[in-house]
Homo-oligomer: A and B are copies of this chain.
């Protein structure tokens, strides 16, 4: 079973879930047909060229020898075809050779690359982030030298924060940068967990490295960002000397085997030459530009792997015959006919679609310049989507029964691959803390309150539609939104006065947020489909209803965990002793 890009669903969600139809209606050069054409082509490329490499990548991994990484058979050719097709540059600035399309369209493409292969898709995500950061903060000569080839994808970028003692706590990093006197810097230190830190896909690799100047203040406010190319450039832009930046080893991981995860060493031979991006000691600000995009992209990986696992399981459930479904005349029924299997498949599809809409809507908020909304939704997009990515991949195994545990089937690879996305680019716990401690207080709470107000609008629309096909959708979504509102108010009251209590509820709050928002978004799309008589209204109502009655229905338990569970967390030291 391979992957087939669900282009029609993606296009519908983009237009009616991520607000792209409003953007298109405002006019401008981009038409709905253009978007459809881009999605069609991206879907074809993902399906035909990338997807077949996924299992090959898992089996081969990326052998490491003498400091060099060999990517799996076929990967180099596929990457070349991919960037030559313009896919790295979908939303890159036109000025630097990009297509300047909306981030939402690129988000849809990122989903498809990652459904086809997470290990393939994660590399470009970092390049795209590097392009954004460099375009926004880089000095003019640095941009001229590096941006065109990064934007096109002819060179790939990396994002280097983590060190052994500095994971979630970036401020603890120790890599040093010294001023060389000629405007450049000399970098020494070690970075770990560097995705695509070394590989043979491109002639040059441009590292974006966080480091600390000798006179930098401690902590987050003493971090600077440097562009450190693998090969230095000659005056004419051609590749010059090898820089003093090397991969020391690669990790042996549970999944995404074809994505080389490197330990990088800088300055073994005196110091790697690096160029400052942005201002000294303000590197984290620049890195956040990369990181926010990367977080959304990792959320899209969650959607992507969930979509692929769902397709895989659906195909198996339609084909595999076992037992006789109640009321069936057949000797043996396809397992999709058994209600318990149906429940699993519906859970998979409903969670996937909810996460997709949340992610696309986040990209849509970026496109419309609604920074508050984008900031609010980014941690939800990242954590909710990657959590459900794991859940859906696990259900995918379950639908396969014993076959799911056999590697040849492929369901296990999705499950192994999916697991990293809840961890990298800020663990989902960090996302939840970010949501509660930094995003809820935005504009004095107005950002989140106005969002919840919109969700209420959807609930009212469902209730007003008064369509029996929606079942209890309106009632369950109302419950969920009210639970979310109460939990939000409770948290806003604790952030200053009792931060420990707010922190203890962060993870269930984020899930509650995702369930309420996702449920409303699915209902919204169902109403749009009904109104427009397109996008399979019956199917969308069915998904929205299933989500509301079975998933959004968890809201009150999650609210309680937030507002009532904190003492049991913070007072439980005895329970964790021994």
Give the B-binding residues of A (Cβ under 8 A): 162, 165, 167-169, 172, 192-193, 251-255, 314, 321-323, 326-327, 332, 336, 338-346, 349, 390, 394, 397-398, 401-402, 404-408, 412, 415-416, 419-420, 422-424, 427-429, 432-433, 471-472, 476, 499-500, 503-504, 506-508, 536, 538-540, 542-543, 545-546, 549-550, 553-557, 560-561, 564-572, 574-578
Contact = CB atoms under 8 A, between A and B. Distances in A.
B344 A429 contact: yes
Nearest to A321: B165
Given A472-B564, A577-B539, A168 B323 contact: yes
Contacts of A500: 326-327, 339
Contacts of A471: 564, 567-568
B339 A576 contact: no
8 contacts: A192-B402, A327-B500, A340-B507, A342-B576, A405-B419, A542-B571, A542-B572, A550-B565
A169 B323 contact: yes
A570 B340 CA distance: 10
Nearest to A342: B569
A342 B406 contact: no
B169 A332 contact: yes
A401 B543 contact: no
A549 B578 contact: no
Given A253-B405, A569-B339, A575 B539 contact: yes
Nearest to A515: B557
A88 B570 CA distance: 43
Contacts of A561: 549-550, 553
A572 B342 contact: yes
A405 B254 contact: yes
B549 A253 contact: no
A557 B560 contact: no
A317 B251 CA distance: 21
A408 B252 contact: yes
Given A340-B504, A346-B576, A419-B397, A560 B568 contact: no
A124 B555 CA distance: 43
The 6 closest A-B pairs by CB, nearest first: A542-B575, A554-B557, A339-B504, A254-B412, A339-B503, A340-B429
A553 B508 CA distance: 12
B546 A575 contact: yes
Contacts of A252: 406-408
A336 B576 contact: yes
Contacts of A574: 536, 538-539, 542
A349 B573 CA distance: 12
Given A253-B406, A326-B500, 13 more contacts: A167-B322, A192-B402, A253-B405, A254-B415, A340-B504, A344-B507, A346-B576, A398-B429, A401-B427, A471-B564, A471-B568, A546-B565, A554-B557
